[in-house]
Chain A
């Protein structure tokens, strides 16, 4: 944890001259500890009764806020897992929602319909999701590039159809399937125990970040980065691209399934819209907004996206927006319009996402400061 950017992150946009590199400022020595500080803040958060008007509805430790935060954390983890495919291996998968949904629906069905205890159901769902990812990945990886994207999209569509058509009355169809809480551990049930779900989500995020960090730092991770940059060269080196890609695909699928297990506990049920392709597109947006191939970018992107997705609804119905003329207030009340527009702008103007923002801003600040120093 000595640097914020991982070693194989894309090169910065331009070489920075010596006089423009950020100076050893007061805060520079703290940077390596920033993730630790963030973790401590996240750990302390549920004990705070602070009110942040405009940012959250209630106090920080109110159940509603904690649930929103827990969802954000899960999506931070999901985005980090998806980045293992997109940012680090260069695979554009449009079917990642399928493995997430496998975790959600697998747990839900095993607990609610089969009456299994939670730990068994969760374990089975994660195993099942991982095996599913391995099998489908084995087929889909026979294609590359855009064709791969379309095949994964089609597979995910099958999942969406299976869930929506409710074969055998398992998934509840369009209605979704509420989680039967009678068999769950007491600590995870009820509004007063939302804080435990928050811990669970935080633990999931930490695990995913740790796994992705370890994998990308390992020799396998180097090969994955090599596949992203030049697949033919990896082949020439005598390594089989197909097998390494399948490993990344399976691992990412397993992580997504685990995220699904946590998500179903937080939300308390499964609904069919999580199987839709929009869900995968949302993951893609999170990763690109945050910064693909960086350690913290996707996490921040995922947290921010989910937060905005929830809060922009409140923003859209607030007085400030209502007061605007209709042609402005109507689009602004749609979270997806705002996020989609921000996303397009990010692709154009911040190709490295939020993670690349800090060096760019530092550059800007320095170029602004130098003229003022020499009047």
Chain B
């Protein structure tokens, strides 16, 4: 029994990580039709920003309030990079889907190489608070605190994004834009501001995933974002592009499937089951679980 609980909770931790990456991807794709290969770079910037801040920023550290400050710095760096990428690189190419994909592909290659050039290709130990190394006993299972932290953060982010989408004017514009961008433009609303905003939200969520993923794995390396990104893509497709809540459901399904099958079957089988799940969803319901709706 405690094995099942442990697997469920670690699976949910993984799902939280996927959700943090996928939510931004999904919103960006739903609103702006940009398949963002550079999302992994935002994650890397968040992780390395936190790592750098914990060592160099005055007041920041690896424990207590200093760690919060370091994470805030990392998230701010990720958000800034995402906004800059949108303004400088993506904006001139709107409505040219293939070119946008190509630019983000180039950016993902160059960005990861830049991280590697600056901080080396090897994984570096991540500064993390002492309590995240320990475990909490839940119903007889010893669950690592880093995973719990991820779950709490993902739930908070999910709540914040849903509240933002539902109760603010910009949330309304984003929801409407996902549904029918031309109509929103025709009503005289500048959708491009919403594009930048969505990129900022996505970048912040991905950077947070980078920082907390560093806590969870204990190390940070330039290639981390890329390997997470493929599963995040799968989550986005299964959940339905443009749907945040769909991404959340899909992330949970993918995370749990992966964790349980990898434990009870051969290692690596879970990853393959996830792709099989993707193929089944695409064949039976090509628009994904939630379809193209940004509402809750």
Q: Known interface pairs A153-B233, A344-B110. Does A142 touch B286 (Cβ–Cβ under 8 Å)?
A: yes
Q: Is B136 an interface residue when CB atoms closer than 8 A count as contact?
A: no
Contact B272 A158, beta carbon cutoff 8 Å: yes
User: Looking at the complex, which one of A139, A157, A335, A341 makes contact with B106 (CB distance below 8 Å)?
Assistant: A341
Nearest CB on A from B223, distance (A): 9
Contact A153 B106, beta carbon cutoff 8 Å: no
Q: Known interface pairs A330-B117, A331-B113, A336-B110. Does A92 touch B105 (Cβ–Cβ under 8 Å)?
A: no
What residues make up the interface of A, taking CB atoms closer than 8 Å to B?
A: 92, 139, 142-143, 145-147, 149-151, 153-155, 157-158, 161-162, 164-165, 167, 277-278, 281, 284-285, 288, 330-331, 333-337, 339-341, 343-344, 347-348, 351
Measured CA separation A322–B78 after assembly (Å):
30
Contact B99 A157, beta carbon cutoff 8 Å: no
B185 proximity list for chain A (CB < 8 A): none
Contact B237 A340, beta carbon cutoff 8 Å: no
A92 proximity list for chain B (CB < 8 A): 98, 101
- Chain B interface: which size bin? 35 or more
Nearest CB on A from B204, distance (A): 23
A344 proximity list for chain B (CB < 8 A): 89, 103, 106-107, 110
A285 proximity list for chain B (CB < 8 A): 105-106, 109
Contact A151 B282, beta carbon cutoff 8 Å: yes
Cβ contacts B254-279/A at 8 Å (1 or 0 each)? 00000000000011100110010011
- A280 — nearest CB in chain B belongs to which residue? B105
The total of interchain contacts (Cβ-Cβ below 8 angstroms) comes to: 119
Q: For chain A, what secondary structure do more than half of its interface residues adopt (helix, strand, loop), or is it mixed?
A: helix
Measured CA separation A182–B97 after assembly (Å):
50
Contact B279 A139, beta carbon cutoff 8 Å: yes
A142 proximity list for chain B (CB < 8 A): 282-283, 286
B116 proximity list for chain A (CB < 8 A): 334
- A86 — nearest CB in chain B belongs to which residue? B98
Q: Is B160 an interface residue when CB atoms closer than 8 A count as contact?
A: no
B226 proximity list for chain A (CB < 8 A): 277-278
Contact A151 B106, beta carbon cutoff 8 Å: no
Measured CA separation A341–B108 after assembly (Å):
10
User: Looking at the complex, which one of A154, A155, A330, A343 makes contact with B109 (CB distance below 8 Å)?
Assistant: A343
- A144 — nearest CB in chain B belongs to which residue? B286
A146 proximity list for chain B (CB < 8 A): 29, 33, 35, 97, 101
B98 proximity list for chain A (CB < 8 A): 92
Nearest CB on A from B270, distance (A): 10
5 residue pairs, one from A and one from B, having the closest CB atoms: A340-B110, A165-B268, A340-B109, A337-B113, A343-B106
Measured CA separation A151–B110 after assembly (Å):
24
Cβ contacts B88-101/A at 8 Å (1 or 0 each)? 01001000011101
Measured CA separation A343–B237 after assembly (Å):
27
Contact B275 A158, beta carbon cutoff 8 Å: yes
